Chain A
Amino acid sequence: MENNTGLNKVDLIFEKIDPKEVLTKAFEMTNEQIIQEVLESGLKGRGGAGFPTGLKWKYTASEKDPDKYIVCNADEGEPGTFKDREILDRVSYKVYGGMAIASKAIGAKNGIVYLRGEYRFLLPQLMRELELFHKMIDEIGYDFRIRYYMGSGAYICGEESALFESIQGDRGEPRNKPPYPTTSGVFYKPTSINNVETLVTVMEIIKHGAKTYNQLGTKDSRGSKVFSVSGDTPTPGIFELELGMTVQQFVNEFGDGDTKAVQVGGASGFCVPRKKFNETIIGFEGVPTGGSMKLFNSSRSMYNVLHNYLDFFAEESCGQCTPCRVGCQQLLKGVQNVKKGDVKSTYLNELVKLAETMKVASKCGLGQSVGNAFRTIVENFREEIIY
């Protein structure tokens, strides 16, 4: 199938597999073969940014420094995503397995899982499963170890370089790039940092083969992905769906019949209004998402939604760079003042321009993506912001 045309439920991520079998298969491959397989699968990072996983591994593999790291980003912080928690809870052995495959591909001996502070309750179980995993790879005869670092609740620490700083015990602030993590990541060593789901997907790709895997999805968005569905829906929860469906198809399945907007990709994502449901594809050719899908029905005030997001960003910006630190406060105060009538409604136009500046001027992805929700909500629900 070249182009997916509908909403298809898939069961790969949570599928029970024999990790030993998959890993044995992977370890028989050369690292180039693994990277080639992942490249062919078309897998893009499942955290939201969508960088091709195979390429990331290729860059890390090409670094000369023998001391390399594979880091699993389990700091799932985007408002509205809760899929990594489910994955870790149900199939952590596949996360560890994916990390082992990545370590083989890039030439790392050490893996680190950076776990969201709020997920600490999972840790005892994850550690037990990690022990079993270490035992298993010892049996296979593969030299690799994983350890855990805990986050402390800052949203920004999901940003890769802020995450490294946090692991190193420093203030969680994004670094200047370049150098990129593949050159200088955690402890300033070459690092591949991948999302929880990405790593699980790699297990599936090795198991089923890239050719089978990339039958799913579309040209730009191969495969399937786990969605966290929340908001005004009769069926909230975790669903693995083939990529390439339209928002309309998604709403047909999960909406309550009164859906007026879907926020795709969380607070840093895009708001899709009803009139654009049909034309908008969920995926890298349309609106990308790390999994967060929030449905809003007509009882919701989009002003409140926007206010909530801006409040969140004004709080969760690391505060380091001007556009993000001050910009978020200006957007928040700006919409408040528009609502109160303290400034003219045309002030929204100034704020949209500011959001555009934040997109091109901020230091990291946080500040760069604040404008996504702002622009799409203000453009599509302007009257709700003003009145």
Chain B
Amino acid sequence: MINLTINDQKTSVPAGSTVLDAAKKLNINIPTLCNHPDLCIAGNCRVCLVEQKGARTLIAACAMPVAEGMDIHTNTLKVRNARKHVVELLLSEHRSDCTKCYKNQKCELQSLANEFAFGDTIFLDLVEDHPYEIDRSSPSFMKDDSKCIRCQRCVRTCSELQYISAIAVANKGAHQKISSFHDRPMSHVVCTNCGQCVNRCPTGALVEKTYIDQVWDAIYDPEKHVVVQTAPAVRVALGEDLGYDPGERVTGKMVTALRQLGFNSVLDTDFSADLTIMEEGTELLTRLKKALVDGDKKISFPMFTSCSPGWIKFIEHKYPEFLPNLSTCKSPQQMFGALAKTYYAQKRKIDPSKIVSVSVMPCTAKKYEADRPEMRDSGYKDIDYVLTTRELAVMIKQAGINFRNLEPSHYDSIMGDSTGAAVIFGATGGVMEAALRTAYEIVTGREVPFNNLNITPVRGMEGVKEVTIKIEGCTDDWKFLEGAELKTAIAHGLTNANKIMRLVRQGKSPYHFVEIMACPGGCIGGGGQPIPTSMEIRKNRMKAIYSEDEHMILRKSHENPDVIAIYKDFLGKPNSHKAHELLHTHYVEREQY
């Protein structure tokens, strides 16, 4: 342990801690900006400067390792003057149209300005010297360099967490900026639209592309029938933008709020998550049968899940030779979209051209996914607008809804039923767990041999998880699987996905089935979720997801009554011709650069 004093208070912290860590332990607040708990230390912004007795210069608390006998002061005149200067400097290169900014009151620079830089500004405006254009090319997010303060959180996110480096630092000095490959528009570089950069941008430089106004227009158009679906991870995070602590479930209130916003039908992506399990589980078993019984050499393993559109774009760019390994299942959002304008329209006797299909997602990549040309199997654009969890919170506020006082209510019927298996899609390992709950039962006629259906080995925040399930006691149809060991792996965050993909490329993958989610923690840590994010926040959301599962009566996808009904009335059976038409898709090889 290292002993030091901060503001004359003694403390001891483990070697390797930073001055910032030590200050936190003493409950001394040091402002930070470029620092982020998910990312490596940068020490760029210089907001966290503190004074170390005997040092020639001030030191950055976030980047300075503790040393024995350090005497640190966080609130001297020298420190305060320097911090004020630093914040003023950042403001001078930041286009401060705060009242109109999407991040107004959620901007970390704004909070710092509020503390350190109120009153007359000292410095000259530099924004006019740098004519930047806002990059609106991506369907998922916008990049406004005039609001960028070069903290490089986005750069570190993209390289460390996602192994993409779609954005990086370019140029030097006054011309330094965060740029893309050859400064191309974001729609034309290797970017997965995952939105993790958006989640970590302290200002309004990176924000999701909003479709709030379009959705309001649809709601208020008497000709239109607007259906909305909400993804599993939204219900455990929406509360954070409406004054709740991370990890509070607000499912029922959210449904009521959506109804009050004026959506004609409030439905659940959980329904199509359960449907995904039926389709994907069947696909896996069929692939196993083809490989093991029929000796089909074309079937290759592992089979990858395909629910995460960020992951899909990643593999399309980086490992296109393994596209045949991807499940052909659309993501739950897109299955839902294809059915909303076919099955739902038929059932409700509504002209599908009058249906506007909106989804609320924890994700920015879903906005891109909805725009993919493949996603028009209903004969229309299957999903018209995708809103993030954050955008839904904005709409609830715009409508003046007092969220806390809402009475909880239930989803509408036809495509509104849900099971616990669908809910856990929102957390890393959830799709695997849901698939195993169903597939094991199909094959053996018995429930998965885990206490209370909780397949705990696939849960948790470990970057790559490996689980082997031994299949025993197969029914007659599945005797060829008797005694087989189903090897599975789960990865979340594309850096972890890349670890698995490297094994696969090297031919060293032992896996049959791999679940990959593009975002850290899975959808609960998605790019469309409330800001800020951290491991602690994601863990709380994850806890909430599993608690939601435990509170469900039905916890296996194949028991979802709406799912049973749709196979009976419309699709026939899993992987049927009709199912293939509407619920499955194909992928595109994309450029590596």
Contact = CB atoms under 8 A, between A and B. Distances in A.
A321 B85 CA distance: 13
Given A327-B89, A361-B58, A334 B124 contact: yes
Interface in A293-330: 313-323, 325-330
Contacts of B124: 330, 333-334, 337, 343
Contact of A326 (B56, B57, B93, B171): B93
A333 B89 CA distance: 13
A354 B124 CA distance: 12
A156 interface: yes
Nearest to A326: B89
Interface stretch (B38-46, B280-288, B485-493): B38-46
B46 A321 contact: yes
Interface centre among A156, A171, A322, A329 (most CB of B within 10 A): A322
A353 B90 CA distance: 16
Contact of A350 (B58, B122, B129, B176): B122
A317 B173 contact: yes
A318 B89 contact: no
A316 B175 CA distance: 10
Contacts of B60: 176, 363
B483 interface: no
A154 B176 CA distance: 13
B65 interface: yes
B49 interface: yes
A319 B173 contact: yes
A292 to B, nearest CB: 20
Interface in B57-102: 57-58, 60, 63-65, 78, 81-82, 85-86, 89-90, 92-93
Interface in A317-374: 317-323, 325-330, 333-334, 337, 343, 350, 353-354, 357, 359-363, 368
B46 A323 contact: yes
Nearest to A358: B85
Contacts of A323: 46, 82, 85-86, 89
Contacts of B44: 320-322, 363
Contacts of B41: 176
B82 A176 contact: no
Contact residue range for chain B? 35 or more
A320 B156 CA distance: 13
A361 B123 CA distance: 17
A178 interface: yes
Contacts of B65: 178
A333 B129 contact: yes
Contacts of A321: 43-46
A62 B47 CA distance: 35
A316 B173 CA distance: 5
A329 B174 contact: yes
A176 B78 contact: no
Contact of A322 (B63, B90, B129, B171): B90
Nearest to B125: A333
B541 interface: no
A357 B90 CA distance: 14
Nearest to A179: B65
B372 interface: no
B82 A360 contact: yes
A330 B123 contact: yes
Mostly helix, strand, loop or mixed at chain A's interface? helix
Interface in B11-46: 41, 43-46
Nearest to A178: B65
Interface in A146-184: 154, 156, 171, 173, 176, 178
A113 B493 CA distance: 40
Mostly helix, strand, loop or mixed at chain B's interface? loop
Contacts of B175: 315, 319
A173 B169 CA distance: 11
B169 A354 contact: no
Contacts of B174: 314-315, 317, 319, 325, 328-329
B85 A357 contact: yes
Interface string B388-432: 000000000000000000000000000000000000000000000
Contacts of B122: 350, 354
Contacts of B172: 154, 156, 315-319
A319 B46 contact: no
Contacts of B171: 319
A34 B63 CA distance: 35
B330 interface: no
Nearest to B124: A333
B150 interface: yes
A156 to B, nearest CB: 7
Contacts of A325: 150, 173-174, 176
Interface in B119-155: 122-124, 126, 129, 149-150, 152
Interface centre among B57, B85, B123 (most CB of A within 10 A): B85
Contacts of A322: 44-47, 86, 89-90, 149-150
Nearest to A156: B172
Contacts of A326: 89-90, 92-93, 123, 126
Interface in B169-187: 169, 171-176
A314 B173 contact: yes
A334 to B, nearest CB: 6
Interface centre among B49, B126, B169, B174 (most CB of A within 10 A): B174
A327 B57 CA distance: 16
Contacts of B78: 360
Contact of A360 (B45, B58, B176): B58
Contacts of B176: 317-320, 325
Given A333-B129, A368-B57, A319 B150 contact: yes
A361 B173 contact: no
A314 to B, nearest CB: 5
A371 to B, nearest CB: 11
A328 B86 contact: no
B225 to A, nearest CB: 52
A319 B90 CA distance: 12
A156 B173 CA distance: 10
Nearest to B177: A319
B402 to A, nearest CB: 41
Contacts of A354: 85, 122-123
Contact of B81 (A317, A320, A329, A357): A357
A313 B173 CA distance: 7
Nearest to A332: B174
B126 A329 contact: yes
A323 B152 CA distance: 15
Given A323-B86, A354-B85, A368-B57, A362 B169 contact: no
Interface in B223-263: none
Interface string B162-203: 000000010111111000000000000000000000000000
A154 to B, nearest CB: 6
A315 B63 CA distance: 26
Interface centre among A173, A176, A333, A359 (most CB of B within 10 A): A176
B330 to A, nearest CB: 40
B173 A315 contact: yes
A363 B82 contact: no
B462 to A, nearest CB: 27
Interface of A: 154, 156, 171, 173, 176, 178, 313-323, 325-330, 333-334, 337, 343, 350, 353-354, 357, 359-363, 368
10 contacts: A176-B60, A314-B174, A315-B172, A317-B172, A319-B174, A327-B85, A357-B86, A360-B57, A361-B49, A361-B85
Given A329-B93, A329-B126, A361-B57, 11 more contacts: A176-B63, A176-B64, A178-B64, A317-B174, A318-B172, A319-B169, A322-B46, A323-B86, A330-B89, A330-B126, A361-B49
Interface of B: 41, 43-47, 49, 56-58, 60, 63-65, 78, 81-82, 85-86, 89-90, 92-93, 122-124, 126, 129, 149-150, 152, 169, 171-176
Closest 10 interchain pairs by CB? A319-B176, A326-B89, A176-B63, A357-B85, A176-B43, A317-B173, A360-B57, A361-B82, A315-B173, A360-B58
